[in-house]
Amino acid sequence: MQEDLLKKLLETLRIQRHDFMNHLQVISGYLQLGNLAKAQEYTLKAVDSVETFGKLSKIPLPYLQSYLLWLSAQYPQEVQMFMSEGDWQEWQEKGDALDQELTGLLLKLYSAVEDSLKKQDLKCSLVFKDNYFLLNLFFVGEKANINSIINRINQLNKLNASLKLLSVACKENSSEKLEILISLQ
C-alpha cells in the first residue's frame, strides 16, 4: 500500500502544480485584459481549491491523508470533502493500524466505483468529524453504480475485523437516483 500511495501522492503534486499554474495564467489573463472583477472572482475560486488541500493536511493519518489528497485532486467535481475543525486527537491516538485499515477500506470501496467517477456518473461526499470514526460517505448516482457499491460494502464488511459499517441506507430520490449513507465505527 505504501508504494501505491506514494505514487498517488506524486501524481497529486503534479496535478496541483498544473492547476496552480493554470490558475495563475487565468488570473494574469484577466489582469492583462483589465478585467479586475473577473480576476478577483477567479482568485477566490483558486483559493477555495487550495484550501481543500489545506483542510485535508490536518488529518494526522499519513496514509489516509495521502489517499484523500489524491482522490480530491483526481476527482475535484465528483468528490467533495467536509472536514471538522477539531484537533483529531482520537484519530491520532489510534495510529498506524487505524490509518492502514481505514485507507485500505476506502481504496477498495473507491476502486469499485472509479469508472463511474471518471465518467462523472457518480458523485460522492465525505464528511469527517474529529471524533473517532465519525466518517460519513454519501454516494449519489445511477442505480447500477449504487448497486455495485452495495455489493462492495457487503464484501468489505465481511473482511474487516475492527472496522464496522454501522449503516447502509438507500433511498430513491425524485431524479431516479439512489443515495447511500455509510457510517464507519
Query: For residue 20, is pLDDT > 60?
Result: yes
Spatial neighbors of 140 by CB under 8 A, at least 6 apart, are: 122, 123, 124, 173, 177, 178, 179
User: In the prediction, which pLDDT does 31 show?
Assistant: 95
Instruction: Give 79's strand partners.
Output: 124
pLDDT in tens, 99-128: 888 888 788 878 877 877 888 777 887 777
Tell me what pLDDT residue 140 has. Answer: 75
Helix axes 62-74, 2-32, angle to 10 degrees: 40
Mapping DSSP to helix (H, G, I), strand (E, B) and coil, where does residue 76 land? Answer: coil
Per-residue pLDDT band at 165 (split at 50, 70, 90): low
Q: Tell me what pLDDT residue 130 has.
A: 57
pLDDT bin (cut points 50, 70, 90) of residue 28 is very high
Q: What are phi and psi of 105, to 5 degrees?
A: -60, -45
CA distance 97 to 46: 35
How does pLDDT run across 123-156, given as a tens digit for each residue?
A: 887 777 655 556 667 777 776 667 777 777 777 6
| Range with top average pLDDT, 83-87, 95-99, 159-163 | 95-99
Q: Which helix (H) or strand (E) holds 149?
A: helix 143-159
Question: At 155, is the secondary structure helix, strand, or coil?
Answer: helix
Residue with cell 474487516: 160
Pick the closest to residue 64 from 140, 183, 72, 157 (CA basis): 72
